[in-house]
Amino acid sequence: MKYNVIYSPNFDKKRRSKKSIKFIVIHYTGMQSERESLIRLCNRKSNVSSHYFIKNNGKILKLVEDHHVAWHAGKSNWKNYKNLNKNSIGIELANKGHEFGYTNFKKKQLSSLIKICKALIKKYKIKRENVVGHSDIAPLRKIDPGEKFPWKKLANRKIGIWHNCNNKELTRSRKIKISIKFKSIFVKNLKKIGYYFFNKKKTKIFKIVKAFQRHYRQELIDGIIDKECLIIAKNLLKNSKKP
């Protein structure tokens, strides 16, 4: 894998073991320019960093060595893991994000991302379902990499997971209301997938549902649990049980 090195001072100085690396967390920068993003990621005062940075033109920069903990995830939860920085590799994709003009990720950028993910998955034996978005692990605070991130395309390359539902059935089920009983089944399924529910406050569930939709039902992100969401979550779990 070809990359240039620009070191960020923002990382834990203690080395971590190879086997502590279990996740890849995908981000977008959410800033006006690549230059601005890099300055922030390498500024001692910002206290943020990532292991890799991928420019729009596909060029990869390495900011922090894999064997050091970079500061990209913040307060986060996934499955039984808490504060995922120590167990993950963080990858930042240049994109202005929802605040400054969210655009499709560039082809070259994505092909570089696929290359890096493939290499990391192999090197650290990362499970494909452990490639997640920042919004998945911090749904109350974050919305990156967002609904334009092509999770399905990546899943076709065995990076992350996707469903194999019938598309017609899904479209038919969109916005179809479901009973409270099925809503609670949906929440249970989301927990099994890895989403963390802090408590039962309605506003928070709304945000977690949105995070799920940004990842797996990108056509409509309304935070409402409908029949389509129910079907997708069930299917994801069924697939994950297959050997």
Q: Which of residues 36-55 bind Zn ion (CB under 5 A)?
A: none
User: What is the smallest separation between the CB atom of 139 and Zn ion, expressed in angstroms?
Assistant: 12
Please report whether residue 134 would count as binding Zn ion according to CB under 5 A: yes
In the bound state with Zn ion, the residue whose beta carbon lies nearer, of 72 and 227, is 72
* Residue partners of 197: CB distance under 8 A and separation at least 6: 187, 190, 191, 204, 205, 208
Taking the alpha carbons at both ends of the chain, their separation in whole angstroms is: 30
Please report whether residue 27 would count as binding Zn ion according to CB under 5 A: yes
Please report whether residue 144 would count as binding Zn ion according to CB under 5 A: yes
User: What is the smallest separation between the CB atom of 145 and Zn ion, expressed in angstroms?
Assistant: 7
In the bound state with Zn ion, the residue whose beta carbon lies nearer, of 62 and 134, is 134
Site size for Zn ion (CB under 5 A): 3
Give yes or no: 92 in active site: yes
Please report whether residue 215 would count as binding Zn ion according to CB under 5 A: no
Of the residues 34, 92, 147, 228, only one is catalytic, namely 92
User: What is the smallest separation between the CB atom of 78 and Zn ion, expressed in angstroms?
Assistant: 14
- Please give the positions annotated as active site: 92
Interaction site with Zn ion (CB under 5 A):
27, 134, 144
